[in-house]
Amino acid sequence: MTVIQRVAICFGAGVLGALAVVLFSYVLFALGLSEKLGVKAPISFKSPDIYRPLFWGGLWGIPFGLLLDAAWTHLYLFGFLYFLAPVLALFLIFLPMSGAGYFGLRQGGPMFTIYLLLVNLPFGIITALAAKAIIGEKP
């Protein structure tokens, strides 16, 4: 399998991982955890709100695909830990740029930071599962 094929597959797998994050935000909201952590509503499924997380999930799937060959023997562990890459970018780049401060501490304090960690947890493992399902036994 070529690098371009792995990248393309993992872009799609990243979109599925991001969809899992969106769906998990609804699970957390239904369980009442979101409100306890300072979040008023789950991620919207309405256009154009839904496109941003799906697109970014696909983009974060690209480096996942580039690292896939090296991580294949421990794919699920790698996938589980991989969610930290986009979360760190969120904490250190995107939230401060939006005015929420580092780690979102100006937005909702430490509880909001915990929510962001929790809601993004499914991203890497679902991305890894989707990539494995599409690729099969060897990349």
Q: Give me the percent of the chain exceeding a pLDDT of 90.
A: 93
The answer to whether residue 139 scores a pLDDT higher than 80 is: no
Question: What pLDDT shows up at residue 102?
Answer: 96
Q: Cα separation of 127 and 116, whole Å?
A: 18
pLDDT digits (tens, 9 = 90+) for 119-129: 999 999 999 99
Q: How far is CA 88 from the centre of its chain?
A: 11
pLDDT over threshold 90, residue 78: yes
- Give the residue, 107 or 15, on which the prediction is more confident: 15
pLDDT of 38 reads 87
Q: What is the pLDDT of residues 43-69, one digit of tens each?
A: 899 989 999 999 999 999 999 999 999
**What is the value of pTM for the model shown?**
0.92
Of 104, 130, 134, 135, nearest to 20 by C-alpha is: 130
SS3 7: helix
Q: What are the residue ranges spanned by the domains of the chain?
A: 3-135
Non-local CB neighbours of 14 within 8 Å, separated by 6+ positions? 57, 58, 59, 60, 61, 62, 64, 123, 127
What is the separation of C-alpha 131 from the centre of its chain, rounded to a whole number of angstroms? 14
Q: Tokens at residue 97, please? A: 């740029």
Contact 57, 15 (CB under 8 A): yes
Per residue in 79-137, pLDDT tens?
999 999 999 999 999 999 999 999 999 988 999 999 999 999 999 999 999 999 999 98
pLDDT at 33 over 90: yes
